[in-house]
Amino acid sequence: MISVRNLEKSYGRLKVLRDLSLDVTKGRVTAVLGPNAAGKTTLIKCILGLATPDSGAISVGGVNVAVDYRYRESIGYMPQKATFPENLTAREVIRFLQDLRSAGHDYDTTLLRDFEIESDLNKPLRSLSGGTRQKISASIAFLFNPRLLILDEPTAGLDPRSSSKFKDRILQFRSDGGTVILTSHIMSEVDELADQVVYLNAGRVAFEGKPREMRERTGTDRLERAIARLMEEVVK
C-alpha cells in the first residue's frame, strides 16, 4: 500500500529522517513508534505531501506522491491537534470538505453518531471543548470512506468511552480491508490495535515487526516494557 524508499529530510541543519525505508502492508494497522523527535510526524507529513523530502521516494497505492496530489482522495487524516476555523460550525467545515472532495461520495457518518456529537455540529467551533473537536477530527478522517487512514496520536484527547468506540471503529475498518498508520505514546492502545510496529529512532528504522516479535526480541511480556528496553538499547 505504501512504499517509502531511502527517505531523507532535514529542517535546516537538523536531520530528521535518515535513509528511511519502509513498507506498509494493505489491510493492516501499522504503528509508528519512537521517542520524541524520532521523526514520526515528519514521516507522516512526507506521506501526506505536507513536507517535501530532500531525497528518496514515497508511493501510495502505486502513485508517486511527489507527482500527483490526487492520491490523497483515498486517505483520511487525523492530525495531532484538531484546529478548525473558529467562526464556522462543524457542520459547515464538514460540508466545506465535502465540496472540496467533489460530489459522488457516500459519506461515512458512523463515528459522528457513535460519538453522539450531532447536536454539537451546529455550534460555532470556538465554543466546543478540545475533546469534542478531537471527535469531529476523528469523524472527518473516516468521512470519505478512505482506503488508508493516517492517525497522529488519535486518542490523546478522548475520554475512555469515546476512545474505546474509536478503537472499535479502527478495528472494523481494518477488517473491512482498510490500511491504518498510527502514531501513539499509549502502548496499551498499540498493543490492542497494531499488527505491525515500526520503531523509529533518530530518523532511522530501529525495529520493524509484529508486536509479539518486539516483545520476544526484548525478552519482555508487555509492549511498553519492550519499547522502553528498545529505547535503552539505542541509547547505549
Partner 1 sequence: MKVTRHILAYEVKDLFRSTWLIVYAAFYALLTAGLLYYGGGGRAAVLSLINVILTLIPLVGLLYGTMYLYASRDFIELLLSQPVSRRALFRGMYAGLALPLSAAFAVGVLVPVAMFWSTIEDAGSLLMTIISAGVALTLVFVAVAFVIANVVEDRVRGMSIAIFVWLGATVLYDGLILYVVNVFSEYPLEIPVLVLALLNPVDLARIILLLNFDISALMGYTGAVFERFFGTWLGIGLSSLALLVWLGVPLVLGLRRFRVKDF
Strands 29-33 and 196-201, by their bridges, are parallel
Q: What is the spatial distance between Cα 141 and Cα 148, in angstroms, rounded to a whole number?
A: 10
Q: Minimum distance between the CB of residue 53 and partner 1, rounded to whole angstroms? A: 10
Binding of residue 197 to partner 1 (CB under 8 A): no
45 binds partner 1 (CB under 8 A): yes
CA-closest candidate to residue 22, choices 71, 56, 64: 56
Q: Which stretch binds partner 1 (CB under 8 A): 72-80, 168-176, 192-200, 218-226?
A: 72-80
**Is 36 one of the binding residues for partner 1 (CB under 8 A)?**
no
The answer to the question of residue 61 lying near partner 1 (CB under 8 A) is no
Binding to partner 1 (CB under 8 A) within 83-122 occurs at 83-85, 87-88, 92, 96-97, 99-102
Q: How far apart are CA 233 and CA 214, in angstroms?
A: 13
Whole-number Cα distances in Å, 84 to 79, 89, 92, 122, 128: 11, 9, 11, 14, 11
Residue closer to partner 1, measured from CB, 75 or 197: 75
Q: Does 72 bind partner 1 (CB under 8 A)?
A: yes
Burial class (CB in 10 A: 0-12, 13-18, 19+), 177: exposed
Residues forming the site for partner 1 (CB under 8 A)? 11, 45, 48-52, 69-73, 75, 77, 79, 81, 83-85, 87-88, 92, 96-97, 99-102, 140, 150
